[in-house]
């Protein structure tokens, strides 16, 4: 009989007992942190994510996702080594924010439209912040400077595309999913036929599809909310118990090595657990700290996404064979890339900054749900269209480089 290793179970048990003891010792701090987590979930996450969860379910049922898959397959496979259906996931992930990309990827894996390696590549670079959170919450709400939104967007979404290009080398020996059979006629006609076949195969009436989409989306929203509250409470009680001091010292050492102010260690520590808490701490750092350093740390936190989002991703991928480690590597690399891009473009971008606010509908604090819905759809639609434009640009660049390579190779 093989010897069993109880070390992981013992470590997890010790951590859980330590958290329970901290909750007993600091009940007031834990309660206040739970209230903050619920407020973040209801005021920010629910209105930002729930509509996209429902819409993505309906689009899958109607075959619209399959339509985009056939349309984008000639572009996505050579650039990112994923099926064309990943282009839709990328656009939705950028427009709606985490964890929509992972949710859609898990559904594609269930339908055998992507394999394990392709799904891991897809989740790695489609897990990003939504534009409303980046502009409204981080730039305006935390940093009180709307002109920073453009810098953060370039660093965050530009880093995502770089991650997509890097992850194309992940699982190089794995066989790709079969390409759709090429039929005669234009590609748009093939895309409509694929959408029609997918709708017939699904077969659910509109009422059933709508009700099931709402129920599944609500279930996922409660999972997301529970994880946000849990990590908010854990971070607060561990901070009250002075347990986090060891991690603060480690982060301070790393910041000193990189030349960034050590006062930002608390922002990074908060961001490692929950992205909202970390971004807020970065924006509220002392005024004497250089703004470029604070924005770079904010970009790192946005791209790392926090253990709360990581737990959401693990939960969504738990019924698939996709692994967590590639996602963890991609998040860490994305965070470093985003911070480096901010520092790299900071000086050149100063000429484009202005004190004027970004053009957004007026946000009413008394009706956060309605206000966020007014903010979400126009800007997310712009990001959705922009993502497709970038895919086409990368494909044309790839085709041009390939043509040049073949020309040069033919002359040798």
144-194: per-residue pLDDT in tens?
Answer: 887 888 899 899 999 999 999 999 899 888 888 877 655 556 767 777 888
- Six-digit token string for 5: 């290793």
Summary mean pLDDT of the chain:
82
Q: What is the pLDDT of residue 184?
A: 57
pLDDT of 227 higher than 60: yes
Q: How far apart are CA 140 and CA 201, in angstroms?
A: 46
- Six-digit token string for 81: 């080594």
Q: How far apart are CA 139 and CA 249, in angstroms?
A: 28
Burial label, 198 (beta-carbon count in 10 A; 0-12, 13-18, 19+): buried
Q: How far apart are CA 222 and CA 217, in angstroms?
A: 9
pLDDT of 289 higher than 80: yes
Task: Tell me what the mean pLDDT of segment 21-43 comes to.
Answer: 86
pLDDT tens sequence across 335-367: 999 999 999 999 988 887 765 444 444 545 455
Eight-class DSSP state of 43 = I
Task: Tell me what the mean pLDDT of segment 233-254 comes to.
Answer: 83
No. of helices (H) and no. of strands (E), the chain = 18, 0
Residues 6+ positions from 380 with CB-CB distance below 8 Å: 52, 95, 96, 130, 131, 132
148 to 131, 138, 346: CA distances (angstroms): 13, 9, 10
Burial label, 175 (beta-carbon count in 10 A; 0-12, 13-18, 19+): exposed
Burial label, 76 (beta-carbon count in 10 A; 0-12, 13-18, 19+): buried
| Higher per-residue confidence, 2 vs 320 | 320
Eight-class DSSP state of 139 = I
Q: How far apart are CA 45 and CA 112, in angstroms?
A: 30
| Higher per-residue confidence, 79 vs 322 | 322
Task: Tell me what the mean pLDDT of segment 295-305 comes to.
Answer: 93
- % of the chain at pLDDT higher than 90: 18
Q: What is the pLDDT of residue 326?
A: 93
334-373 burial, b if ≥16 CB within 10 A, otherwise e? bbbbbbbbbbebbeebeeeeeeeeeebeeeeeeebeebbe
- List own/partner pairs for 289-292 with CB under 8 A and 24 or more apart: 289/261, 289/263, 289/264, 290/261, 291/145, 292/342, 292/343, 292/346
Q: 55 pLDDT band (50/70/90 cuts)? A: confident
Pair 100, 128: CB distance under 8 Å? no
pLDDT of 374 higher than 70: no
Q: How far apart are CA 281 and CA 76, in angstroms?
A: 38
Q: What is the pLDDT of residue 412?
A: 42
Eight-class DSSP state of 84 = T
| Higher per-residue confidence, 284 vs 178 | 284
pLDDT of 231 higher than 60: yes
pLDDT tens sequence across 189-208: 777 888 888 888 878 888 88
Q: What is the pLDDT of residue 334?
A: 96
pLDDT of 43 higher than 80: no
Pair 158, 136: CB distance under 8 Å? no
- 27-40 and 7-25 helices cross at what angle (nearest 10)? 100
Q: What is the pLDDT of residue 244?
A: 77
Q: 327 pLDDT band (50/70/90 cuts)? A: very high
- Six-digit token string for 241: 């118990």
pTM for the model: 0.80
């Amino acid at each position: 009989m093989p010897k069993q290793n109880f070390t992981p179970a013992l470590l997890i048990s010790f951590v859980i007992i330590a958290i329970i003891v901290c909750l007993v010792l600091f009940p007031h701090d834990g309660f206040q942190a739970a209230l903050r987590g619920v407020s973040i979930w209801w005021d920010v996450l629910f209105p930002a994510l729930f509509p996209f969860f429902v819409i993505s379910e309906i689009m899958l049922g109607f075959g619209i996702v399959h339509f985009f898959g056939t349309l984008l397959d000639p572009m996505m496979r050579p650039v990112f080594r994923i099926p064309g259906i990943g282009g839709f996931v990328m656009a939705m992930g950028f427009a709606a924010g985490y964890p929509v990309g992972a949710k859609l990827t898990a559904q594609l894996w269930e339908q055998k439209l992507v394999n394990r390696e392709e799904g891991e590549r897809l989740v790695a670079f489609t897990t990003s912040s939504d534009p409303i959170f980046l502009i409204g919450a981080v730039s305006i709400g935390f940093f009180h400077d709307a002109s920073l939104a453009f810098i953060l967007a370039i660093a965050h979404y530009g880093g995502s595309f770089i991650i997509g290009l890097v992850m194309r080398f992940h699982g190089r020996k794995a066989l790709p999913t079969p390409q759709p059979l090429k039929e005669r006629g234009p590609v748009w006609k093939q895309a409509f036929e694929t959408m029609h076949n997918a709708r017939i195969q699904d077969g659910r009436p509109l009422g059933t599809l709508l009700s099931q989409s709402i129920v599944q989306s609500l279930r996922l929203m409660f999972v997301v909310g529970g994880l946000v509250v849990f990590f908010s409470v854990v971070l607060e009680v561990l901070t009250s118990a002075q347990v986090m001091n060891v991690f603060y010292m480690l982060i301070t050492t790393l910041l000193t090595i990189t030349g960034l102010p050590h006062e930002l260690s608390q922002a990074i520590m908060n961001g490692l657990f929950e992205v909202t808490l970390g971004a807020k701490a970065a924006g509220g750092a002392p005024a004497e700290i250089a703004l470029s350093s604070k924005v770079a740390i904010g970009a790192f936190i946005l791209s790392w996404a926090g253990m709360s989002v990581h737990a959401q991703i693990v939960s969504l991928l738990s019924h698939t064979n996709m692994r967590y480690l590639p996602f963890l590597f991609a998040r860490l690399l994305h965070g470093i890339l985003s911070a480096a891009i901010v520092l790299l473009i900071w000086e050149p971008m100063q000429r484009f900054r202005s004190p004027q606010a970004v053009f957004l509908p007026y946000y009413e604090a008394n009706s956060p749900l309605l206000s966020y819905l007014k903010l979400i759809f126009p800007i997310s639609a712009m990001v959705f269209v922009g993502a497709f434009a970038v895919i086409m640009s990368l494909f044309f660049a790839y085709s041009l480089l390939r043509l040049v390579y073949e020309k040069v190779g033919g002359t040798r």
